[in-house]
Amino acid sequence: MKRSEINLRIKELEKLAQENGFALPPFCHWTPEEWQSKGSEYDEIRDNMLGWDITDYGLGDWEKVGFALITLRNGNPKDPRYPKTYAEKLLMLKEGQHSPMHYHWSKSEDIINRGGGTIIIHVYNCDENDDLDRVHDFPVNSDGRTYMVPAGTGVELTPGESITLWPKQYHDFDVKPGTGDVLLGEVSMCNDDANDNRFHQPIGRFPAIEEDEAPYRLLCFEYPRV
């Protein structure tokens, strides 16, 4: 991705969060220059990849396949300095944009529609070959309700609604046409994007960056070490 596009998408997510009354933590507003002065007291941000995350999954067409995210909090079960057992994210999916089918080996998560349009999450269980189980019905958990759905059901969430996604439960994300961009929340077990994503089709997770302008904000893997 070009740095100019990453900058644009960060500003769009900032605007969508503001429009929906979601205040971001201070570290989301730090400039690259301000990061140079941040000492080891902020290593939790560095080590657990808190902050901005803009991805096109290595496919080079963010407006069709991509996501804009912020990791707001996160623990690390491999590091005793960070004993939190949970994580939280804020995400933006634009109308007309798709986030690909995947599951997590370890993480369970609640996906919450925080505002904007209607999100559609297609869900499948995983079969014995790590593929989509296209045959069997299975239970869905949503806002205190458990009900059965056929494989591949598109669960629609309007603002305020949520769904629980379990380990090895395939899911993707789309926006219902005509409803507008969606602000999502994610409340989950600890997040490990480097090791806990299994995409149905082999794709990347973090973008290669073409530096065509200065960064507006640093991404979660770009922070300077102390």
pLDDT for 205 equals: 82
Closest CA to 27 of 19, 35, 15: 35
Q: Give the tens place of pLDDT for each residue, 146-204.
A: 999 999 999 999 999 999 999 999 999 999 999 999 999 999 999 999 899 999 998 98
CATH of domain 3-21+42-199: 2.60.120.10
- Other beta carbons within 10 angstroms of residue 142's beta carbon come to 17
Which pLDDT belongs to residue 204?
Answer: 83
Residue 98 pLDDT:
98
pLDDT confidence of residue 2: 97
pTM for this prediction = 0.96
Cα–Cα distance measured from residue 152 to residue 123, given in angstroms and rounded to the nearest whole number: 5
The bridge status of strand 145-149 relative to strand 86-93 is unpaired
Q: What is the pLDDT at residue 112?
A: 98
Rounded-to-integer distance, Cα 35 and Cα 139, Å: 45
pLDDT less than 70: residues of the chain: none
Question: What is the structure's pLDDT at 144?
Answer: 97
pLDDT at 224: 97
